Amino acid sequence: MPTTSSPHQILFYDIAPGPPIRPFAPNPWKARYALNFKRANFITKWVALPDITATRKSLGADPVRFLASGEPFYTLPVIKDTSTDEVVGDSFDIAVYLEKKYPDEPALFRSSIGVYAAFNAHIDSIFPKGGILFSEGFPFDPANEEQVKAEFCRRAGLTSWDQLTVSGEERRKVVESYEVSLAEAAKYFRYSEGPFIGGKEPDYADFIVGGWLMMLSQVVAEWKEIRTWHGGVWGRLHDALEPYRGTW
C-alpha cells in the first residue's frame, strides 16, 4: 500500500511458491507487514526456491542463518533501497531500517529495539516446534517440486520427504503437543484488551507473531482449529492484521 510518489522504490525479495503465487514464509511476512504498515513504496521481486541462493549472492547479501552443520543457509527476505542501493537481508534488520527511513509514519517499535529483538528470538523458538505439521501443505511449484523436496531432505539429513510428514494418530499427538507449545506465546496476550499484544493498535511484535500465523494459515490443515486455541487469540490477531497484508 505505497503512498509516496517518489520514483525510488524498495525492492522486496520474497519466496515465490505455487503457482498461483501465495506468500507463506514467516520471515518474509514479517517484512511485508512492516513495509505495508510503514506505507513504504515497494514492489515485490518473486524468487523461486531454487534461485534464492544465487539471488541473495547477486545482491551481496551475506547469509544470516546457518544449518546445524555450519553451512550457510541462504534465504529471504532481502530488500534493496533503490534510492541508496542499500541492501538489508534480515527481517528484523529490515524493520529497523524502515523505522529509520520512515520516521513520520506509525512507529514499529514502542520501546527498546532490544526488547523486540529478544521477543523475536523467543517467538522464533516456539512456533517451529510444530514443524512436521507444515510440510504436508507446502505450496510447491510443480516445475521444481522434486528438486526442492530433495534439498529440504538434504538439509535435514533425511533420505525421503515422507520422513518430514506425519499422519493419523501420530499427527494428532503432534497437534495436541503444538497447542501446549503455543501456550508459551499466548501468555503475551494475557493482559491485553486485544486483538494486538499492546491493545488496539499493532506494532512490530504483532507482525512477528503474525508472520508465523500467516504460515500456519497457508500450510497447516488444522488451521481452523489452531485459530480457536488459547481463547481464540490466534484467530483474532490473524484477522486484525488483514489491513496490513496488501496485495501481491
User: In which band, very low, low, confident or very high, does the pLDDT at 32 lie, cut at 50, 70 and 90?
Assistant: very high
50 and 127 together in one domain: no
191 and 118 together in one domain: yes
Rounded Cα distance, 1 and 40, in Å: 7
Q: What is the pLDDT of residues 163-210, one digit of tens each?
A: 999 999 999 999 999 999 999 999 999 999 989 999 999 999 999 999
Does 76 score more than 90 pLDDT? Answer: yes
147 and 82 together in one domain: no
Q: Can you name the residues that pair with 79 across neighbouring β-strands?
A: 12, 88
Query: Do the domain assignments include residue 1?
Result: no
Domain of 75: which CATH number?
Answer: 3.40.30.10
User: pTM here?
Assistant: 0.94
Mean pLDDT of the chain: 93
125 and 215 together in one domain: yes
- The domain of 156 spans 113-244
Residue 79 host element (H or E): strand 78-81
User: In which band, very low, low, confident or very high, does the pLDDT at 3 lie, cut at 50, 70 and 90?
Assistant: very low
pLDDT of residue 7: 61
Strand order in the sheet with 86-88: 42-47, 10-15, 78-81, 86-88
Domain of 125: which CATH number?
Answer: 1.20.1050.10
DSSP 21-40: P----HHHHHHHHHHHHTT-
Domain count, the chain: 2
- Among residues 41, 73, 101, which one ends one of the domains? 101
